Amino acid sequence: MAMSVNVSSSGIINSGFSRSSALSEPKVSQIGSLRLLDRVHVAPVSLNLAEKRSSSVKPLNAEPKTKDSMIPLAATMVAEIAEEVEVVEIEDFEELAKKLENASPLEIMDKALEKYGNDIAIAFSGAEDVALIEYAHLTGRPFRVFSLDTGRLNPETYRFFDAVEKHYGIRIEYMFPDSVEVQGLVRSKGLFSFYEDGHQECCRVRKVRPLRRALKGLKAWITGQRKDQSPGTRSEIPVVQVDPVFEGLDGGVGSLVKWNPVANVEGNDVWNFLRTMDVPVNTLHAAGYISIGCEPCTKAVLPGQHEREGRWWWEDAKAKECGLHKGNVKENTADANVNGESKSAVADIFKSENLVTLSRQGIENLMKLENRKEPWIVVLYAPWCPFCQAMEASYDELADKLAGSGIKVAKFRADGDQKDFAKQELQLGSFPTILVFPKNSSRPIKYPSEKRDVDSLTSFLNLVR
């Protein structure tokens, strides 16, 4: 710590301290603002700053005889202040995450609240994040909860917010989008532009920017992310980490810590916990909604479908993130799959012996046939896609069921280099996309439903074959 001392003819000392980046912030911000006010009276005793750590130091009770006598005093002050400063090492959150890897959500929550007190808050989405509030309640520590009100939530979600506040005796801190930004987006592109050009812009205005404002007032936040929520993007979430995207109260990279107490918990276990504790839940869950967001972008899922399939269902599986957890999203580039391996290393799916594997040339030839001898049903897929994986058993069963019936069942891998072609020529919107090529039609018919069980697919085939 550097100190500059200027002694005026009146005997007043002006002292200034420069902050050292190696010191811990809470103590440095207090000590770093020390200034000697009024006339300094020096007694031949040592200073004790341990009893008083304020933004100013009261005058002492002795008059210095000469200006020269102040110099050794200044040196003494620096030495004693240095002794008082407690240097705290920067915490290794990767190491902490390893230590807490097998800890229970309750233990992780308790650690987070103990460590940050009023400078941490739970991000509550109106879905199963109520489990986080219950864990915080069980610790017996005070806690804060905030939520992003996008202005487009379901009525059931708003009633759920109210029920949670009354149940726990808390007030949720709501963050709202900037009205001018929302007005500009809606006026220029309409209320439902995200169906045409993707949800990212709307989420950025209604969710990401309000979240950024909320986090600027915190040193840490608590989320309900789980690894099993989205195998393609969240499979490597640690229980605690330095937030890689957002800034906290102190500003700058590394100023915010992110806690994910249920990262290693499966969705079924979360729900068992909620039922056991008899806490309020969103009534939309009983209607088949699992992952709940804004009303236009959320729908119920069917048994066997992945929970994230009900969010932004018109987009690719890898796009099913709004940007709030961008730092945890794994990049599904041409060389990476959901497990961090190269896509070429992913085991292929749809393995029935009665199923035809089409090459690019093969499906182009199929498209050119105007009078086919038999109808075809083709799935456009990516083997790393969890939604494609979820329908593998039913599609293989369909191929076996239709063997010898005069209907060909086929697959075409449409990711990587084939994706642009599939989008332009094969109506690919998201994985999986199912097409039926009738006998007497030059264009394939896209299967419009999310129901991918054998009976639903067979019924559709009978209608268009």
Question: What does the pLDDT look like over 160-191, one tens digit per residue?
Answer: 999 999 999 999 999 999 999 999 999 999 99
The whole-number average pLDDT for the span 75-82 is 48
pLDDT, averaged across the chain: 78
Classify residue 335: in a domain, yes or no. Answer: no
| Residue 351: per-residue pLDDT | 87
Q: What is the distance between the alpha carbons of residues 454 and 391, in angstroms, rounded to a whole number?
A: 10
Residues 279 and 348 in one domain: no
Residues 324 and 357 in one domain: no
Residues 160 and 284 in one domain: yes
Residues 221 and 364 in one domain: no
pLDDT over 90 (residue 85) = no
Residues 263 and 150 in one domain: yes
Classify residue 63: in a domain, yes or no. Answer: yes
C-alpha dist (Å) from residue 58 to 4, 12, 156: 19, 13, 58
pLDDT over 70 (residue 459) = yes
Classify residue 338: in a domain, yes or no. Answer: no
The whole-number average pLDDT for the span 57-62 is 37
Q: Is 16 helix (H, G, I), strand (E, B) or coil?
A: strand
pTM for the model: 0.54
The model's pLDDT over 302-343, given as tens digits with 9 standing for 90+, comes to: 776 777 677 877 776 555 444 454 445 454 443 444 333 344
| Residue 191: per-residue pLDDT | 93
Catalytic amino acids? 385, 388
* Residue where a domain stops, chosen among 300, 328, 356: 328
Residue matched to tokens 């986090």? 215
224, 259 in Cβ contact below 8 A? no
Q: Over pLDDT 90: what percentage of the chain? A: 46
Q: What is the distance between the alpha carbons of residues 381 and 414, in angstroms, rounded to a whole number?
A: 6
Residues 187 and 322 in one domain: yes
User: Treating both helix axes as pointing N-terminal to C-terminal, what angle do 454-464 and 392-401 enclose, rounded to 10 degrees?
Assistant: 50
Residues 348 and 321 in one domain: no
- For the ranges 32-41, 193-202, 212-221, 229-238, which has the lowest average pLDDT? 32-41
Q: What is the distance between the alpha carbons of residues 428 and 432, in angstroms, rounded to a whole number?
A: 8
Residues 355 and 456 in one domain: yes
Q: How many CA atoms lie within 13 A of 299 on its CB side?
A: 11
C-alpha dist (Å) from residue 346 to 332, 336, 349: 13, 10, 9
* Residue where a domain stops, chosen among 301, 328, 355: 328
The whole-number average pLDDT for the span 394-402 is 92
Classify residue 168: in a domain, yes or no. Answer: yes
Q: What is the distance between the alpha carbons of residues 456 and 21, in angstroms, rounded to a whole number?
A: 64
Q: What is the distance between the alpha carbons of residues 100 and 265, in angstroms, rounded to a whole number?
A: 13
Most confident of 16-25, 164-173, 262-271, 307-316: 164-173
pLDDT over 60 (residue 205) = yes
Q: What token pair was written down for 219?
A: 């040193």
| Residue 253: per-residue pLDDT | 74
- By CB neighbour count within 10 A (0-12 exposed, 13-18 middle, 19+ buried), where does 362 fall? middle
Q: What is the distance between the alpha carbons of residues 199 and 193, in angstroms, rounded to a whole number?
A: 8
What's the number of domains the chain is made of?
A: 3
Which residues have CB under 8 Å from 176's CB, separation 6+? 149, 151, 210
Residues 44 and 7 in one domain: yes
375, 437 in Cβ contact below 8 A? yes
Q: Where are the alpha helices (DSSP H) in 192-284?
A: 194-197, 200-203, 209-215, 267-277
Classify residue 337: in a domain, yes or no. Answer: no
Per-residue pLDDT band at 230 (split at 50, 70, 90): low
The whole-number average pLDDT for the span 225-246 is 79
Q: Which amino acid is it at 148?
A: L
Per-residue pLDDT band at 347 (split at 50, 70, 90): confident
Q: What is the distance between the alpha carbons of residues 173 and 103, in angstroms, rounded to a whole number?
A: 29
Residue matched to tokens 């709307």? 202
Per-residue pLDDT band at 2 (split at 50, 70, 90): very low
C-alpha dist (Å) from residue 461 to 226, 372, 399: 38, 15, 12
- By CB neighbour count within 10 A (0-12 exposed, 13-18 middle, 19+ buried), where does 361 fall? exposed
> Within its chain, how far is the Cα of 127 from the centroid?
14
Classify residue 305: in a domain, yes or no. Answer: yes
Classify residue 333: in a domain, yes or no. Answer: no
| Residue 305: per-residue pLDDT | 72
| Residue 387: per-residue pLDDT | 78
Residues 59 and 98 in one domain: no
Question: Which CATH number is 348's domain given?
Answer: 3.40.30.10
Classify residue 272: in a domain, yes or no. Answer: yes
| Residue 440: per-residue pLDDT | 77
User: Beta 445-446 vs 145-148: how paired, if at all?
Assistant: unpaired
Residues 132 and 280 in one domain: yes
Residues 68 and 103 in one domain: no
Domain that holds residue 148: 93-328
Per-residue pLDDT band at 63 (split at 50, 70, 90): very low
